[in-house]
Amino acid sequence: MKLLSLMEYTEQDEILIGELQKELFEACGKIAKKESDMELVRKAFFFAKEAHKGLRRKSGEPYIVHPISVALIVVNEIELGTKSVVSALLHDVVEDTDYTVSDIEHLFGPKIASMVDGLTKMAGVFSADTTEESETSKQAENFKKMLLTLSDDVRVIIIKIADRLHNMRTLGSMTVHKQMKITSETVYLFAPLAHRLGLFAIKSELEDLSLKYRFPDDYKMIRSKIKDTEANRNKYIEKFNSPIREILKANDIDFEVSGRVKSIYSIWRKIQRKNIDFEEIYDLFAIRIVFKPSPMIPEKSQCWHIYSLVTDIYKPKPDRIKDWVNIPKANGYEALHCTVMGPDGEWVEVQIRSQRMEEIAEKGFAAHWKYKEQSSNTDGEIDKWLKRVREALSSSVDNAVEFLDNFKLSLYSSEIVIFTPKGDQITLPQGSTALDFAYDIHSKIGNTAVGAKINHKINSIFTPISSGDQIEIITSNNVKPKPEWLDHVVTSKAKNSIKNFIKKDNQNNIERGIIIFEEKMKSFGIQPSARVFRKVLPAYKSSSKSEFYSKLGAGIINLNGVEKILRQNAASKMIKYWSLQLSNPLRLLKGSTETKKKTEAEEVEAITGDESEFSIAECCSPIPGDQVIGFRDENGHVTVHKKSCKEAVKLASQHGENIVKAQWSGFKAVSFLAHVEVRGIDRIGIMLDMAKLISEEMNFNIRELKVQSHDGIFEGIISLYVKSIDDLKTIMARLGKLRGVERVRRIETYRE
């Protein structure tokens, strides 16, 4: 975002730019291989400075500060070479000024021109720097476009990550709506990508910054708690480390040992995921031993030597050794991890790595290439991954959202190594099944797989496989892929092959399904309208009309209960009481089509009088008082999620244009379902006491109360109706005071 101004650079601007210039030239001087490299950097610098003259960022800074900062991240924090620095300096020139890619080619050569071109193609995608939303193209399409550049030059994506990092660092001057959109994209795609490329430090910073803007209170709370507990922790770490220091020194090992605290974001995730307090996190920090390898001994042996010295002092936890030295993580990470029993009977994780491994862990990609050049090794893990991504990209999936979902899977998963009957190694993501393996060999083998010999024993093709397994696939021409197969595979290769097969098979089913459904509707005298599908699709667990038709046509579902479904009111009665403020007022005026749709929907409402345009997301069931956000679908229907909901983050990043700001207003006589988990010491009558307190004393309706007890502990889940978050808080506080109750928590998704 910038404002056009006719101003030249002011004196103050020149001072600021001059400082950055000095820093950049110095950093590049250290990595430039020849003088012509430096010349190119200087040329790009002054060219960009001139091209962006008169433009300012929303923060008021001259625009050129942004490309220089991105170039500095590229050289200092990622350690790419001068070509990448030059491309970073020029990354917004074509997008924002009158210069074209061929101007760049003329001035800087074809390689840099093609990188700038790649960056420009992505520029419209992520509108952090521009004011207009791209109306025509959907976010997922854009992501796909961006990922396609992975097949040309990975550096383009890495520079894009650096660009995003700088935008995140300067996010404070953006509007709240923009912050939500940008942080969602960051959490959804950029941080995982950075992780996958081994850019660990950058990934952590991206996540922490996202948290800072999305949940400022949580962020501040965790940050201050880390600070408050620092002194005690350091004392403990010192106590833990000092015998380690002694023994390593006695063995002539050149090393450094330190204690590392988890990132704010990963602490937050843990609190969310496990529903625990900060104080309950036991692995808040880890001990890291980084050694300088002795030249004659393999690093691997030295890691194990240190491991054996450490475990002479502290007892290791069995099953908690992670050997990423023998088989590095998919993102190239190497280290030996173990968990040991520390001084006051606390489990402590110890990470053992060489200096080379440390550099790869921190700097990722660039370090990976640096060492690869040295060792003339065969393909590393990142190369293998890139190869798979390229394969996935070339196997063209039309649906961009689907593509992205599959791609996402390849980002975070850790990997297992298995063997073919001939002893060839194959790497697959953790959680893969024999069927994934079959598809990895060839789609024909996958499509005809009936069973698998896993370590010479016959098993189902859906059997999950683990590292070290040897697998042989048994095929038969009498089988064909079924939709359920999709639930039993994790790799995009398998998913795509199954989907492609089914798609062909499906077309017939869809046509049959349409006929069946229309006949049934005709017999009721109903038109299959959007409103009908809003009820029918969820009832038949279908995410689209075509899925519904195809299931129907294939005989997977039938219409026996459809009449009842149509008569049912949607579970969204109470949402009438919402006030929804649209985030983008322009959208209201956008076109006649949308307005028309709305009127249609209103007509239908007038007839039944019980359904509104809005519904509450089942995945997170927000209640009044929660921070919420809405998403509008193509029918104008809005679903409201909690702001912290994972699904919401995904939606916001893929369809940022559909975000609707939502706020609670009057919600007087309406009740919402909430779930509370209670835990404590079991005693006679505890269940009755809880029920009495809630329904008799406080007068709230309980829908269900379930209690299990074992070994003197009880755990219960209470589903009850409340009017607001305040009600819920009061109830939870009162429950917490009951004798024996130790912990009371709200849970979001409870399925009976």
Catalytic residues: 95-96
Residue among 20 and 604 whose Cβ is closer to Mn ion: 20
CB of 145 to Mn ion, least distance (A): 16
Strands 322-323 and 336-341 come out as antiparallel
Residue among 70 and 575 whose Cβ is closer to Mn ion: 70
CB of 159 to Mn ion, least distance (A): 9
Residue among 84 and 639 whose Cβ is closer to Mn ion: 84
Residue-wise DSSP of 691-720: HIIIIIIS--EEEEEEEEEETTEEEEEEEE
Contact 86/44 with Cβ under 8 angstroms?
Answer: yes
Residue among 45 and 268 whose Cβ is closer to Mn ion: 45
Q: How far is CA 441 from CA 173, 394, 428, 535, in A?
A: 51, 17, 11, 42
Q: Cα separation of 557 and 548, whole Å?
A: 9
> Would you call 316 helix, strand, or coil by DSSP?
strand
Q: Draw the binding track, 36-75, toward Mn ion (x: CB under 5 A; -: no contact).
A: ----------------------------------------
Non-local (6+) Cβ contacts of 535 within 8 A are 565, 566, 568, 570
> Would you call 616 helix, strand, or coil by DSSP?
strand
Chain position carrying tokens 């398998």: 494
How many C-beta atoms surround the C-beta of residue 335 within 10 A?
22
CB of 161 to Mn ion, least distance (A): 11
Contact 212/219 with Cβ under 8 angstroms?
Answer: yes
Which stretches within 170-298 are classed as H helix?
A: 176-185, 191-196, 200-214, 216-228, 230-250, 264-274
CB of 393 to Mn ion, least distance (A): 24
CB of 96 to Mn ion, least distance (A): 9
Q: Which of residues 348-407 bind Mn ion (CB under 5 A)?
A: none
CB of 70 to Mn ion, least distance (A): 6
Q: What are phi and psi of 72, to 5 degrees?
A: -65, -40
Number of chain residues interacting with Mn ion (CB under 5 A): 2
Q: Which of residues 141-200 bind Mn ion (CB under 5 A)?
A: 163
Angle 661-724-531 from CA coordinates, rounded to 5°: 55
Q: What are phi and psi of 62, to 5 degrees?
A: -60, 145
Residue among 75 and 367 whose Cβ is closer to Mn ion: 75
CB of 171 to Mn ion, least distance (A): 13
How many C-beta atoms surround the C-beta of residue 232 within 10 A?
9
Q: How far is CA 151 from CA 148, 163, 323, 331, 388, in A?
A: 6, 20, 31, 17, 10
Residue among 165 and 741 whose Cβ is closer to Mn ion: 165
Residue among 56 and 356 whose Cβ is closer to Mn ion: 56
CB of 184 to Mn ion, least distance (A): 18
The amino acid at 513: G
Chain position carrying tokens 């920090």: 285
Give residue number: closest CB to Mn ion. 163
CB of 152 to Mn ion, least distance (A): 19
CB of 166 to Mn ion, least distance (A): 7
Q: What are phi and psi of 658, to 5 degrees?
A: -100, 5
Helix, strand, coil: what percent of the chain each, to 5?
A: 55, 15, 30
Residue among 166 and 655 whose Cβ is closer to Mn ion: 166
How many C-beta atoms surround the C-beta of residue 115 within 10 A?
25
Residue among 127 and 339 whose Cβ is closer to Mn ion: 127
Residue among 63 and 236 whose Cβ is closer to Mn ion: 63
Contact 585/541 with Cβ under 8 angstroms?
Answer: no
- What distance, in Å, lies between the first and last C-alpha atoms of the chain? 48
> Would you call 591 helix, strand, or coil by DSSP?
coil
Ramachandran area for residue 607 (φ above 0: left; ψ -120 to 50: alpha; else beta):
alpha
CB of 88 to Mn ion, least distance (A): 9
Contact 648/617 with Cβ under 8 angstroms?
Answer: yes
The amino acid at 724: S
Residue among 129 and 594 whose Cβ is closer to Mn ion: 129
Q: Cα separation of 556 and 600, whole Å?
A: 32
Sign of CA dihedral 469, 470, 474, 480: positive
CB of 230 to Mn ion, least distance (A): 36
Q: Draw the binding track, 75-104, toward Mn ion (x: CB under 5 A; -: no contact).
A: -----------------x------------
Contact 496/439 with Cβ under 8 angstroms?
Answer: no
Chain position carrying tokens 């502990």: 713
CA proximity to 626, closest of 649, 608, 644? 644
CB of 178 to Mn ion, least distance (A): 14
Three-state SS letters, 292-310: ECCCCCCHHHHHHHHHHHH
Residue among 61 and 547 whose Cβ is closer to Mn ion: 61
Q: Draw the binding track, 515-554, toward Mn ion (x: CB under 5 A; -: no contact).
A: ----------------------------------------
Non-local (6+) Cβ contacts of 156 within 8 A are 87, 115, 118, 119, 122, 149
Chain position carrying tokens 């024996």: 740
Residue among 133 and 748 whose Cβ is closer to Mn ion: 133
Chain position carrying tokens 């291989």: 33
Q: Cα separation of 67 and 163, whole Å?
A: 8
Angle between helices 230-250 and 299-313 (to 10 degrees): 120
Binding site for Mn ion (CB under 5 A): 92, 163
